[in-house]
Amino acid sequence: MNTIDTASSQGFGSLISHFIGWAYFIAWSASFYPQAILNYRRKSVQGLSLDFIYLNVFGFLCYSIFNLTFFFSSEVQEEYRKRNGGQDNLVRANDVFFAVHALILSSLTLFQTFIYKRNESQKISNPAKLLVIISTSGVLIVLYSVTIRSSQWIDLLYYLSYIKLGISFIKYCPQVYLNYSAQSTVGWSVHNVLLDFTGGVLSITQLILDAALSGDWSGISGDPVKFGLGLLSILFDLVFITQHYIFYRNREDFYAPLSMAENNGNNNNNGINCRRYEGKQKALLLPIHRNYLSTQNHQSRMKNGSTTSRPASMRDLEMGIEGTGLSLSSSQH
């Protein structure tokens, strides 16, 4: 009877684990879309750290190789069993799909950095380049060690997993600092963060559940990258959530060009509040209310013999601010 109950419990537990696995796959996979959609809508990647983007692609390349090989290579699976008392590794199909999907979507976001607007100073830093070069050199060294039989393929895969784990810690730091420097999270999608947080919690839950069901807690140490990724995701997501909802609650896109604010001025019941971001300086233009702009537009239409409305021109804005006795010397137009 106890044997039947145990088998039944394990069967139910395996079903729950399977469900959690696909749930975290969906949450983590979906987390890549909000940022890409935000970039597309803004036609800009301003506010997004390029170090994060490049390191993200490199990290998921390593992670994809790790999961694909562990899942499909019988040689690597046998090497794992020999090192872990005959136990099978805990890489599942959803792990493979997630890694490959993440690589594709992060590569798409990288592509967006070439076609959408960004600041001149917005480029990958030398430390990030150095990290990629050193990591790649290490891969080549371990690969050579495998070819001369000094190491096994599983050692190379573990090295790739450690690269991914290290990058997952480092890649978020530039974005955290960028948000801090700008005192804003504009350009960084919070929906990405919320979905990533959900995926991290579910990923760790599945790993612990699988280890408990198999009675082999070495499964966690045997897949350190999955456990580490979950913990790091939760940690940094909490930082981003704190930045977005507590410290930097101003949602105004000060990266947007002044012309965008100008063209949207007629849709603002209280006038327009234009902001520009130039390097590290934010220049705030005082509101120019609709009644003044309407007068200027009306005079222009009468002069041109046209009754078609048009958005206020930059000259209109300049005249309005000059009327207040202020200067636009701090802004470029």
Which pLDDT tens digit goes with each residue over 267-320?
A: 444 443 434 444 333 333 333 333 433 444 445 455 555 444 444 444 443 444
What is the structure's pLDDT at 276?
41
Tokens 């136990």, residue located: 87
CB-based contacts of 229: which residues, under 8 Å, 6+ apart?
164, 165, 168, 200, 203
Question: Which parts of the chain sit beneath pLDDT 70?
Answer: 1-10, 216-226, 251-333
Task: Answer yes or no: are the C-beta atoms of 71 and 202 closer than 8 Å.
Answer: no
95-113 burial code (b ≥16 CB/10 A, e <16)? bbebbbbbbebbeebbebb
What is the structure's pLDDT at 225?
65
What is the structure's pLDDT at 251?
66
Q: DSSP state, 289? A: -
What is the structure's pLDDT at 145?
94
pTM: 0.66
CA separation, residue 11 to residues 3, 77, 88, 213 (Å) = 12, 23, 17, 9
**How many whole angstroms separate alpha carbon 86 and alpha carbon 154?**
15
HEC readout, 56-67: HHHHHHHHHHHH
What is the radius of gyration, based on Cα positions, of the chain?
26
What is the structure's pLDDT at 258?
41
Domain boundaries, the chain: 2-247, 258-322
Hey, how many other C-beta atoms are within 10 angstroms of the C-beta on 78?
11
Helix (H) or strand (E) holding 153: helix 153-170
